[in-house]
Amino acid sequence: MHELSVCRSLIAEVEAVALQHRARAVRCIRISMGPLCGVDPDLLQRAFPLARAGTVADGADLLIERLPVRVRCERCEHESEAVPNRLVCARCGDWHTRLVSGDEMILASVELDADEVPVAAPDGAPGP
Amino acid sequence: MCDTCGCNITPGNRHLVAGDGKLSRTADGKNAVTVLKGLLDENDLQAHHNRQHFDRHAVLTVNLMSSPGSGKTALLEATIDALRGDLKVAVIEGDLETENDAQRVRAKGVPAVQITTGSACHLDAHMVHNALHHLPLADIDIVFIENVGNLVCPASFDLGHHRNVTLLSVTEGDDKPAKYPVMFRAADLMVLSKTDLLAVLDDFDPQRAEAALRGLASDAPVIRLSARSRVGLEGWTAWLRNELAAQRERVAQHHTTRPAIQPDGRLRHRGAAPVPHPGYVLLPTKP
């Protein structure tokens, strides 16, 4: 239900990246999300065309990588896949587990149409 | 999710930033920019700012979430009565329409700000920021945020509060935690409300409700109470007093806390070595 507002903040992030790299257009946006992030990937996909309209991402594709739910048992230290509403250890059945993956909702990368690659990335990150 | 410690990087997505991550270049050699930012960063930044407001005044802020009609406002009314003369309380009310709940709280002599969201199904950090400037925080011990009645969306939005309390009334199904795992996983405390009705309901088993919560790997305490018959309130007010004492201790130590979300991020915060945040990393284009 709040997928459109999430999509709008996604577009805002993408616009900032595009501006920073002086991109003419955004071709592809990749996000990663797990089932426990609270946002439905299909609804997000459907909200995307509305949110991108009139922005630098107007022609962009949205690719969603769906991450699995994985838990690590604090008792037997086994790591296993789990379903979203049953986060117990697959080996010993204990509920004292820690979520290893499955609640992410992350803008992973953006593909840009840009004339040139900027020489240095901000935040001291290594340039190309 | 936080911008300073890299807690966005989880074992589930670490491959995306590792040297030859599969997103590091595209098939046709276009520029790929790895971002790895949470989609709710804008909200989270505002939430962080809200938390600074609350912490500056050593206020404990508790977010109440539940489905509509499970007794959030009734619990607040009973809580205000129970804490009267002892702790000073204020309330931020969230509803789609009407001032009704804020009026019920004000009738108890407590400051209340009503947020009407129109059609929005949850409160966000910006709405709460607008509201908190109408509250005399310097003169308050606990702020309650009564979120929009909804077991889905409110769980995803950090408001700048310290603790999440999720109510489950015994007139609902005892399997609600299994049906709404995102919401119940976010609970620091689960309150089973309207327990005075258990006598006439044979289909709600509090132990089954608690087992469903444990199935989400949650060790959150469970408190059973009835706001109407004022039964079980002492456990609830004791929990509040403990949390307020813990909040004051944190503020004295210049620490703060977030509600029960992002366990992976919290684990990283405990580690001694800070994990550098990737920020924007521009990857080389290799045609």
User: pLDDT at position B143, please?
Assistant: 98
| pLDDT confidence tier of residue B261, bands split at 50, 70 and 90 | low
Q: Per the structure block, which two tokens stand in for B11?
A: 């074992």
User: pLDDT at position A6, please?
Assistant: 86
User: pLDDT at position A38, please?
Assistant: 86
CA distances from B244 to B44, B181, B249, B255 (A): 23, 27, 9, 14
Distance between alpha carbon B23 and the CA centroid of its chain, in Å? 33
Higher pLDDT residue, B15 or B248?
B248
Interface touch B12/A114, C-beta < 8 Å:
no
pLDDT reading at B241 higher than 60:
yes
Q: Does the interface ipTM go beyond 0.90?
A: no
pLDDT reading at A121 higher than 90:
no
The reported pTM is 0.79
Mean pLDDT along residues A78-94: 96
Percent with pLDDT over 70 in chain B: 80
User: pLDDT at position A117, please?
Assistant: 52
Note the pLDDT tens digit of each residue in B179-207: 999 999 999 999 999 999 999 999 999 99
C-alpha B95/C-alpha B100 separation (Å) is 9
| pLDDT confidence tier of residue B284, bands split at 50, 70 and 90 | very low
pLDDT reading at B269 higher than 80:
no
Nearest C-alpha neighbor of B214 from the set A96, A89, A73, A37: A96
Interface touch B12/A84, C-beta < 8 Å:
no
Interface touch B153/A100, C-beta < 8 Å:
no
On average, the pLDDT of chain B sits at: 83
pLDDT reading at B219 higher than 70:
yes
Interface touch A2/B153, C-beta < 8 Å:
yes
DSSP state for residue A86 in the 8-state scheme: B
pLDDT reading at B268 higher than 70:
no
| pLDDT confidence tier of residue B256, bands split at 50, 70 and 90 | very high
User: pLDDT at position B153, please?
Assistant: 85
Identify the residue among A79, A103, A117 best suited for mutation to test binding to B, counting B beta carbons within 10 A and taking the highest. A103
C-alpha A109/C-alpha B36 separation (Å) is 7
Nearest-CA distance from A73 to chain B in Å?
Answer: 10
SS3 B129: helix
